[in-house]
Amino acid sequence: MNKLLSGFTLIVLLVLSSTSYAGKGPPMSLSDKDTKFYAGLKWTVGAGTTPAVVLGVMRIKVESNDDRKGANLSFDFGLGDKGGLGQLKLGLLYGKEKLQGELGGGYDFAKGAPLYGVGINAPHVNTGIEIRDGRAYVPFFTLHTLGKFGSRRHHYYD
């Protein structure tokens, strides 16, 4: 009888402790990852008023200190008279919830040459400077569908 009572008590304690975190996720999550697809319009200085269409995906890891680290993979193509393949770029992101710096590189299919760039990513906006042909500094401005990347979803103290 004593063993039966001890076993029953142990089961009740295990069930009570396991339900205390129900719906809150892991109690000690150190980071969350978030992947979002986006579309946008990109204007480049010297390329006229017709924008390029941008399609991309960002993967952001929200650290326990609320920093954001991740990557931005994008492809753009021209519209109208300047239609055709544009650029394929991969950038590394680091920053906070509403603002991240970006450093990356890629390939410009229209020019047949590599490109490098630095920029700033914010909710619905990406702007920066691309370095083409190793010597041309070309500013750009992109409006896109991504808002901010949220805070960590799992906290120990919810």
d(CA 91, CA 76): 14
Nearest to 65 by CA among 150, 152, 153: 152
Cα angle 79, 81, 82 (rounded to 5 degrees) comes to 60
* Three-class secondary structure of residue 19 per DSSP: helix
Cα–Cα nearest to 98, from 71, 74, 68: 68
Pair of tokens at residue 75: 């492809």
- Phi and psi at 100, nearest 5°, equal -130, 140
Question: What 3-state DSSP class applies to 76?
Answer: strand
Query: Rounded mean pLDDT of 7-18?
Result: 48
* Helices within the chain (DSSP H only): 2-19
Is 60 strand, coil or helix? strand
**Rounded Cα gap, residues 107 and 97, in angstroms:** 28
9 compared with 42, residue with greater pLDDT: 42
Q: How far is CA 150 from the centre of its chain?
A: 11
Tell me what pLDDT residue 39 has. 94
Which of residues 148 and 123 earns the better pLDDT score?
123
Q: Which of 17-26, 58-67, 103-112, 119-128 comes out lowest in average pLDDT?
A: 17-26
Q: How far apart are CA 77 and CA 73, in angstroms?
A: 14
Assess contact for 67 and 60: CB atoms under 8 A. Answer: no
Which pLDDT score, from 0 to 100, does residue 105 have?
Answer: 94
Higher-pLDDT residue of 31, 133: 133
Reply yes or no on whether the pLDDT at 94 is more than 50: yes
State pTM to two decimals: 0.70
Name the fold adopted by 32-144. Lipocalin (2.40.128)
Which residue is listed with tokens 């509403």? 98
Average pLDDT over residues 97-118: 90
What's the pLDDT score for residue 150?
Answer: 60
Give the model's pLDDT for residue 119.
95
